[in-house]
Chains A and B, each alone.
Chain A
């Protein structure tokens, strides 16, 4: 077994731990505390971090660790490592957080087992080198997330959100299979690199490209296909909202990126398409977020907008061949994971204190936040940090990555891209219009009756908030800290485009 490359353990540890967690939970069922599954989950994710370090080190040495078992072929590259880093760090925070958050809920062992499974599948998705394997990881990730969205299976709204998510996501994945069939029928291969070499501007490849764009676009929440997202993100338990928003839609984006990289020769308009969806996502996400009165729905729409910034950065690299846009975009992917994770966990903390601890599953309204800083100083501070970062205020992480994308846009010298960058900056300013009322309500209004009567938050709940909050500030002050991660990832994107880096 020692011959397995380290990165495979990042997938195997959570994957093997998932059934154990479930079994431990079944044996420990009567206590209702789910201590064993909780502990095992945190332990397994910490162990996966233990595999991450040597994997990252071997990649930094210039090795290209690969693994092959029958038809399953995996290869770690910069992009895969980046996705693994986001999935594992946010996963660990969410696992820690969910212990107190879910206390007393039925079926916690399933929650932890599915969470581990989902993380393993996301890490695997980042390492897939074969089109069909990519789909299998993608589908397995989706399957494990359906039930997590509908975890509160007593609540009609959760069930409805879960069903809607399942139907849209499964229809998208059927389209991806149709696209795979088309590519397979024309090229006779499923290896992404070989497809990249064979693909040309023929109608069949073009049709496959459209099918992939729509299929993966559902998961990545490209705008006309985003309608599942606000329901699923707002109805899921807060930890899962953080995972969905911070990692899962980004995993959809990475899958799309892999396929677009292979089908690059098919059409010259990929950069235009990416930039167009980027602009549409920013505009629609921000405008729809403005109208929301529920905190978690607001944050969900803001994720739609943030996918737009990432697409813009990628479009800049696709158009100009410069790595800076992709690097900024991937840096934003990491930052968005941290900031949106923090925002959902902090909002979840308030939701816990105000509703869930009292057995109420009602939605957290913006109006409920009035005066929350007096009773929940940590959660209020964390939520403020997160939304200010998302809005792009310096010196927080979100500003730095947006800045990098904007600089890349101006350096490209393309008037259309420069116009889009200005548009994106205007959108950033627009987004403050819905973030600021949250902070205003928490810090400047008198506590509402609900806040005054809210329960205290458990200490463990605050731990991930402190960790993620520190990360958001530190990355804002020293954005260069993550260059070791984003640089090679941008290089991987660029090399899939046939450029050298």
Chain B
């Protein structure tokens, strides 16, 4: 059985979204959570590109994807920046430890 490119893309989207969500829920390290967020967005990005190619609007799909990459990078940078601040002020990156601190 061979898969059509579209099927591969759809499987890829579902797989990336699933992996991202798993990482978000299971991750305990703040940096790993930001990485999981990135994986999640990459799934959505693959979807955008695939959608563009399905409808014969490859350029539009890709330009949307580039825009999302820009926004997503800003979010990742901010997430890491907050992570760095938390590590400095609290001394841990562990989510469980953080919520314990708040009491």
A166-B89 in contact (CB<8A):
no
**Chain B residues whose CB sits within 8 angstroms of the CB of A184 once the complex forms:** 48, 51-52, 55, 61, 64
**Chain A residues whose CB sits within 8 angstroms of the CB of B50 once the complex forms:** 181, 185
A156-B86 in contact (CB<8A):
yes
Chain B, residues 55-77, CB within 8 Å of chain A (1/0): the string is 11100010110011001101100
A360 to chain B, nearest CB (A): 17
B37-A181 in contact (CB<8A):
no
A160-B68 in contact (CB<8A):
no
A167-B33 in contact (CB<8A):
yes
A181-B47 in contact (CB<8A):
yes
B24-A167 in contact (CB<8A):
yes
A150 at the interface (CB under 8 A from B): yes
A316 to chain B, nearest CB (A): 34
One of A1-9, A170-178, A392-400 at the interface: A170-178
Query: Quick one: given A143-B75, A160-B86, are A185 and B43 in contact (CB under 8 Å)?
Result: no
**Chain B residues whose CB sits within 8 angstroms of the CB of A182 once the complex forms:** 47, 51
Pick from A147, A155, A166, A174: contact of B43, CB under 8 Å: A174
CA gap between A163 and B85 in the complex, in Å: 10
CA gap between A159 and B41 in the complex, in Å: 23
A178-B51 in contact (CB<8A):
no
Query: Quick one: given A136-B71, A167-B24, A174-B20, are A180 and B48 in contact (CB under 8 Å)?
Result: yes
| Majority SS at the chain A contact face | helix
A446 at the interface (CB under 8 A from B): no
Query: Quick one: given A174-B40, A174-B41, A188-B55, are A166 and B75 in contact (CB under 8 Å)?
Result: yes
CA gap between A143 and B78 in the complex, in Å: 8
By a beta-carbon cutoff of 8 Å, the part of chain A in contact with chain B is 71, 132, 136, 139-140, 143, 146-147, 150, 153-157, 159-160, 162-163, 166-167, 170-171, 174-175, 177-178, 180-182, 184-185, 188
7 contacting pairs across A/B (C-beta < 8 A): A143-B71, A146-B75, A156-B90, A163-B30, A170-B75, A181-B47, A185-B54
By a beta-carbon cutoff of 8 Å, the part of chain B in contact with chain A is 13, 17, 20-21, 24, 30, 33-34, 37, 40-41, 43-45, 47-48, 50-52, 54-57, 61, 63-64, 67-68, 71-72, 74-75, 78-79, 82-83, 85-86, 89-90, 98-99, 101-102
